[in-house]
C-alpha cells in the first residue's frame, strides 16, 4: 500500500518509513504541511499518517482539504498523549483513527491493518478466486495444493485488485499503488499492461481466470463473488 508520512520530526518519520517499507508498504515523507498538501493533491495514497503539530500548518486542515477535494485516502492522526480535543475533532473531520505518542511501531501497523479491514471490507483471511485461493497474510496464491510462483510486485498488484474487488482500477491507480508517486512524464500505462499480462499468463497456466477482467479503455477489475 502507498503511505504518506506527515511528521516534522524527521528521525521519527524516517523510522516509521523504514519499518513500513520492511512490511511491504511504499512510503513518502513530508516534513511540513505545505509539502504534504502538494503531495496529497497529485498522488494517490491509501493512507496518510498525520502528525497534527506541524510547523506551518494545523494538521487538521489537511483532512479538511482532502475531504473537500474528495480525496479517497484514509487518515490516521498522530497526537500528543492526552490531546483528547484534537482526537475528537480529527475523527469528526473524517479521520479514520488516531494514535497517541509515544507509540510502538507494531501498534501503528495494527491500526493500519484495522482501518484497511474496515475500508476494504476484508478480514485479511483467505480469499477465494474461482479455482484459486489467495492467502493474504502468507502472501501466496494457491491452485489446489500448488503455489503460483508470483513476484512480489505481481502479488501486490493482484492483492490491490482483490482488496478493491468489484471496483475498476485504472492503470494510473495501479501504478501509483505499486510503484509510488510518479511524475506525468514518467508514467507509461503499458508498464502495468505488461505486468498484468505476465500475471495472467502464470495464473492461466493452472486454470482460466474469468474473475480477472479487463475493462476496455479504463483498467482492470477482480470479482470475488
pLDDT tops 60 at residue 31: yes
Q: Which of 175, 169, 178 is nearest to 213 (CA)?
A: 169
Q: What is the pLDDT of residues 70-97, one digit of tens each?
A: 888 899 998 775 566 777 787 788 888 8
Q: Which of 26, 193, 159 is nearest to 148 (CA)?
A: 159
pLDDT value at position 185?
47
**Residue 114's domain is classified under what CATH number?**
3.40.50.2300
Per the model's pLDDT, the better-predicted residue between 117 and 105 turns out to be 105
pLDDT value at position 124?
59
Q: How confident is the model at residue 225 (pLDDT cuts 50, 70, 90)?
A: low
Tell me, rounded to whole angstroms, the distance of Cα 218 from its chain centroid: 20
Same domain, 137 and 114: no
Same domain, 52 and 103: yes
Q: What is the pLDDT of residues 149-193, one digit of tens each?
A: 999 889 988 988 988 888 898 888 888 777 665 544 455 557 888
How distant, in Å, are the alpha carbons of 49, 80, 82, 112, 113 from that of 1? 13, 26, 30, 10, 11
Same domain, 34 and 95: yes
* C-alpha to C-alpha distance for 110 and 204, rounded to whole angstroms: 35
What number is the average pLDDT over the span 25-46?
91
Q: State which residues form the domain around 162.
A: 127-222
pLDDT tops 90 at residue 6: yes
pLDDT tops 70 at residue 67: yes
- Domain stops at, among 92, 120, 148: 120
Mean pLDDT across the chain: 85
pLDDT value at position 75?
93
pLDDT value at position 180?
65
Same domain, 17 and 105: yes
pTM over 0.85: no
Same domain, 134 and 32: no
Same domain, 43 and 101: yes
Same domain, 87 and 10: yes
Same domain, 150 and 78: no
pLDDT above 70 coverage of the chain, percent: 90
Same domain, 183 and 113: no
pLDDT tops 90 at residue 16: yes
Same domain, 102 and 166: no
* C-alpha to C-alpha distance for 103 and 183, rounded to whole angstroms: 34
Amino acid at each position: 500500500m502507498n503511505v504518506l508520512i506527515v511528521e516534522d520530526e524527521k528521525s521519527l518519520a524516517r523510522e516509521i518509513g523504514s519499518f513500513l517499507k520492511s512490511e511491504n508498504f511504499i512510503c513518502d515523507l513530508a516534513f511540513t504541511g505545505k509539502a504534504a498538501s502538494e503531495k496529497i493533491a497529485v498522488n494517490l495514497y491509501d493512507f496518510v499518517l498525520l502528525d497534527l503539530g506541524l510547523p506551518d500548518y494545523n494538521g487538521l486542515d489537511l483532512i479538511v482539504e482532502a475531504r473537500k477535494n474528495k480525496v479517497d485516502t484514509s487518515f490516521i492522526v498522530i497526537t500528543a498523549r492526552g490531546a483528547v480535543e484534537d482526537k475528537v475533532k480529527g475523527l469528526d473531520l473524517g479521520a479514520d483513527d488516531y494514535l497517541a505518542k509515544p507509540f510502538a511501531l507494531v501498534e501503528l501497523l495494527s491500526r493500519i491493518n484495522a482501518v484497511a479491514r474496515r475500508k476494504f471490507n476484508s478480514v485479511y483471511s483467505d480469499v477465494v478466486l474461482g479455482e484459486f485461493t489467495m492467502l493474504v497474510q502468507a502472501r501466496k496464491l494457491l491452485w489446489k495444493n500448488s503455489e503460483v510462483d508470483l513476484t512480489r510486485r505481481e502479488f501486490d498488484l493482484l492483492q490491490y485488485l482483490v482488496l478493491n474487488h468489484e471496483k475498476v482500477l485504472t492503470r494510473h491507480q495501479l501504478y501509483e499503488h505499486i510503484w509510488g508517486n510518479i511524475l506525468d512524464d514518467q508514467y507509461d500505462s503499458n508498464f502495468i499492461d505488461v505486468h498484468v499480462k505476465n500475471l495472467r499468463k502464470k495464473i492461466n497456466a493452472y486454470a482460466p481466470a474469468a474473475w480477472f477482467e479487463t475493462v476496455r479503455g479504463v483498467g482492470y477489475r477482480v470479482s470475488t463473488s
